[in-house]
Structure formats: C-alpha cells, structure tokens
Amino acid sequence: MAYSAFAELPVKVDFAVFRYNDSLNILEIYYSFPASSLKYNDSGEGVIGFAVGIIQSESIIDSTQWIRNIKSPSNKDNIPDMVGIKTMLVPKGKLKFMFVALDMNNKYEKYKRTFSFTSPDYPIDKFSTSDLQIAAEIESTSNTRQKWSKAFKKSGLFVVPNPGNDVLGSNPKIHSYLEIYNAKKIAPAGLHILYTVYDAAHKEVFALPREKKSFSDAMVEYISIPVDALPTGVYYFTVLIKDAKDEVELSKNTRKIYVSNYNIPPKSVDEFYENMSFEQSEFATLSEERVKIFYDQIKFLASDYEKEVWDKCETLGAKQRFLYTFWSARNTDTTKTYNQLLEDFRDRIAYTNKHFKYGLMKEGWRTDRGRVYIKYGKPTRIDHFVQEGDRPPYIKWYYDEIQGGVHFVFIDFRSNGFYQLVHSNAEGEMYNYNWYEQYIERQDPDPNFKYHKSNFPR
C-alpha cells in the first residue's frame, strides 16, 4: 500500500468464545509466530510486542498490551513456532478485535489484523456450546508429558493453542475442545456425539460416534482422533450433538483444518471436473491466457473451497471445467438460454474498464475500485473530496443495502487517477480507522509501537 514501509510479520491468529457468566463471555485469542522471523540483538535477545483492542460499535471498550522476550534459538535448523494465548472478558453481541504484533528490534516488521466475531448469549434455559477449538495438544494436568504454560490450563486440562488449525506429522491427530452448557437440564437422558471429517469436496471420509452422560450443566468434551490414513489436504471437522432420547439435533460446530500427513501426499485432482458436461459452452474454447484472466476477474468472488480447487487444477481442461462449474452453480434462472449473473458480471467488467482505467492501465477491473464495483455493484452514493495543498484527493463509496450499510475510502496518492482502497467497514475488507490521520493529514503510525489507545480504532 502507498506510503507504507512495513513488512508483515508472519503471525497466525485464531480465537474462540466461551461462557463466563450471565453478562460476560471469555474471548481466547491464540497466536503463534516463528522465532526465526525475529531480529535478535547483539546479546541474542528478540523482543516481540503485542496489543489487542476490543471494538464495539466502532469504539474501543477494552485494550491490553504485552511483551515477549525470546532468546536466540541455538538450533537454527529446527526452530519451533512460539505459541501464546491472551484471554479477555467481553460483553455479549457483535464485536471486533484488532490484533497487533511488532518486532521491537525491527520497527518495519509488524502484523495488524481486525477480526469480527459474535459473543453469543448463552441462555440458562437452552442447550448451547462454546466455539470449537482445534488444539495442538490436549493433556490432563495430572498426567502431562511436558511442562506447558499455565496460560494453557482450563477444566483440568492443558489445551495447547493451534492458531493455524494445522494437523501435522507422520501420525497426525485432531485434538478438539468444546464446552457444553445446560446438558443435564435440557437433555438428561444423555448425548449422542458424532465426530465427522469431510474432504475438500465435502465428502465424508471419517466418522466416529460417541455417547456422553449429561452429568452437569457445565461439561467439557474433548478428544484426540488419529487421522494418519488421510492424505495431505484441506478438511472440515464437524462435531454434531443430539439428544440421546429423541435424536433431536442440539448443536453443530465445524472447523476447517489443514492436514499435513508426512507419509501421504495430496491427491491429484488434475482433471477435477472431467465429468462435467460443458462441451457446448464457451468455456471449452478458452485459451490458457484467457482462462487465467477469467479467473483473476472472479477470484475475489470465489469461496475458499473454490480457490483451493483452482489451485489443484493443473491442466487447461480442468481449469476450463472449473470456470464452467463456477458460473453454472451461480445460475439463478436455468429457464433462460443465458446466465443472467454472468451477463451482469460482464457488464460490470466493461464499466470498470471504461471508468477506472488510468495511464497505461486499461484494465479497470484490476484496480481497487474495479474490484469493489464488481463485487458489490454500483454504490448508493459517492462523495468526492478534491486535492487541497499537500492533501491528496479521495472519494468515499457508500452501500446502504449491504451489511446494514458500509462504506469504502479510496485515495489518489499521486493525483493521476489511480485510487487505492485504504479503509472499509465491510466484513472481510481492509479496515483502518486512522486512515484520515495517516494519509490525508500524513501523520504516520508510531514506528516505535508506543502503547496507547490510538493504536486501535475508536
């Protein structure tokens, strides 16, 4: 992004929410980072600083900061990731948290992300469960093989965080932790629990049923499942809970996991769509170059699963079939001889090429405004702000009907028509509350990472 000298620190972050009391919940934030990525001083010491801000209705309601000092690893060839957890009490409702990490010996290496989440209301008269946590290890505190951090201790267990949801090794195992609330009150006959693993195509590859007595209204369900027969790849791990008496579904939790089985490589899906009937479609005639351009135009519309499938399509035929299936799945009216959504998409591409091109860049769809226009359509309103002295021109796009109302801010840093996205409050988009101070007033973020609430959106 313009005017940014920062490189991203390779930090992994995940989180889960658990019940605390009638008004508050526990937010557990899990993080990890490779110690090899830090800069060490002459004394062999590395320092990484962290900050978390809890955001509700665009205002910070709580924040915390901490430091971790790390000795330079003696074995440079086998350096494990450093893992940690930060626990905070949060109110009920829709919230966000911003997570910031900075290498204190290298002010240009940092990580900054904002995560949206729901802190649910756990009613006392209904069955409910916490978020499903995928752990790196789960051991009883009375029978542990290693000296784990006390921060990982809960419910008589050491639950070691796994921010990447990675299931690794020659004998990989899925370790999961789940809290169950009001089981004795709502399902006194007991619970049927079904653990299921689905592959990337959502086909069942493993299932394990389990019975559990409803002995309390505050229970813990954890398990370690060997999956050494699964090839390396992306999977979906599901925990389904039913009432043992009438088989009524009580809850269902799913997490995406990444299995790296050192003994079984990924399956080849070279001809993933070989059986799709698409010979009469335009996609069967696309060249390699055109296929690549077509995918570049739609990849921000694709789901994570579709992106994973695309990455595994190695031949031109498989890629052509991918595009055919992508648009067939989005055809909302099969009575027509054409795909209306595809036609609307092409109209948006043409519009962006006409209105958002600049200089020698004729493909307006490749710009930030082009991407937003293609994904969200025509804005409800556009506000223009002209250049004033050293302040660059910028525009704001508003979408009143999306997510209860969202906006996007684009800045033309060089006053040449190339507007770059610097902030949006839409889910999954770039979020930078301090964009005005940082880019319009040109007050850069504090490079020394001094802790104060201005690190976070108000």
Domain chopping of the chain, boundaries: 1-119, 122-266, 379-440
Q: Write down the pLDDT at residue 324.
A: 87
Which burial class, exposed, middle or buried, applies to 236 when counting CB atoms under 10 A from its CB (0-12, 13-18, 19+)? middle
Instruction: Evaluate if residue 277 carries a pLDDT over 80.
Output: no
Taking 80 as the threshold, does the pLDDT of residue 438 lie above it? yes
Mean confidence (pLDDT) of the chain: 86
Residue 211 has pLDDT above 90, yes or no: yes
Asked if residue 4 has pLDDT above 60, the reply is no
Question: CA dist 386 to 68, 266, 394, Å?
Answer: 45, 53, 7
Tell me the mean pLDDT in the region 193-212.
91
Query: pTM (2 decimals)?
Result: 0.63
pLDDT bracket for residue 92 (50, 70, 90): very high
CB contact set of 86 (below 8 Å; sequence gap of 6+): 28, 29, 31, 50, 52, 64, 66
pLDDT tens figures, 295-329: 999 988 888 888 888 888 888 888 888 898 888 88
The pLDDT of residue 202: 78
- Find the mean pLDDT for residues 417-433: 89
Asked if 1-119 and 122-266 have one fold, the answer is yes
What is the model's pLDDT at position 311? 87
pLDDT at 64: 96
Please calculate the CA angle 252-255-258 and round it to the nearest 5 degrees: 150
- Nearest alpha-carbon partner for 163 in 11, 7, 379: 11
3-state secondary structure of 84: strand
Record: fold of 1-119: Immunoglobulin-like (2.60.40)
pLDDT over 90 (residue 152): yes
| pLDDT over 80 (residue 77) | no
Q: What is the mean pLDDT of residues 349-361?
A: 87
Judge whether residue 455 has pLDDT over 50.
no
pLDDT of residue 44 exceeding 90: no
| Spacing of C-alpha 320 from chain mean position | 28
| CA 374 – CA 349 distance, rounded (Å) | 7
pLDDT at position 453? 39
Query: Does residue 271 surpass a pLDDT of 60?
Result: no
- What is the percentage of the chain residues whose pLDDT exceeds 90? 52
Q: Report the top-level CATH class of 122-266.
A: mainly beta
How does residue 143 score in pLDDT terms, banded at 50, 70 and 90?
confident
> What does the pLDDT read at residue 91?
97
pLDDT of residue 397: 96
Top-confidence range, 153-162, 417-426, 427-436: 153-162
pLDDT value of position 279: 67
Q: Give the model's pLDDT for residue 384.
A: 93
Q: Is there a contact between 115 and 97 (Cβ–Cβ < 8 Å)?
A: yes
> What are residue 52's DSSP bridge partners?
64, 99
**pLDDT > 50? residue 376:** yes
Give the residue with greater pLDDT, 317 vs 442.
317
Instruction: List, in sequence order, the alpha helices (H) in 340-413.
Output: 340-355, 368-376
Can you tell me whether residue 281 is helix, strand or coil? coil
User: For residue 391, what pLDDT is reported?
Assistant: 86
- pLDDT given at position 5: 41
- Confidence at residue 445, expressed as pLDDT on a 0 to 100 scale: 44
Over pLDDT 70: what percentage of the chain?
89
Residue 458 predicted with pLDDT over 50: no
* CA pseudo-torsion sign 71, 72, 74, 77: positive
Residues 6+ apart with CB under 8 A from 288: 316
Return the SS3 of 365.
helix
Residue 272: the pLDDT is: 42
Q: What is the tens place of the pLDDT at every residue in 216-256?
A: 999 999 999 999 998 888 889 999 999 999 999 999 999 99
Give dist(CA 229, CA 72) in Å, integer: 37
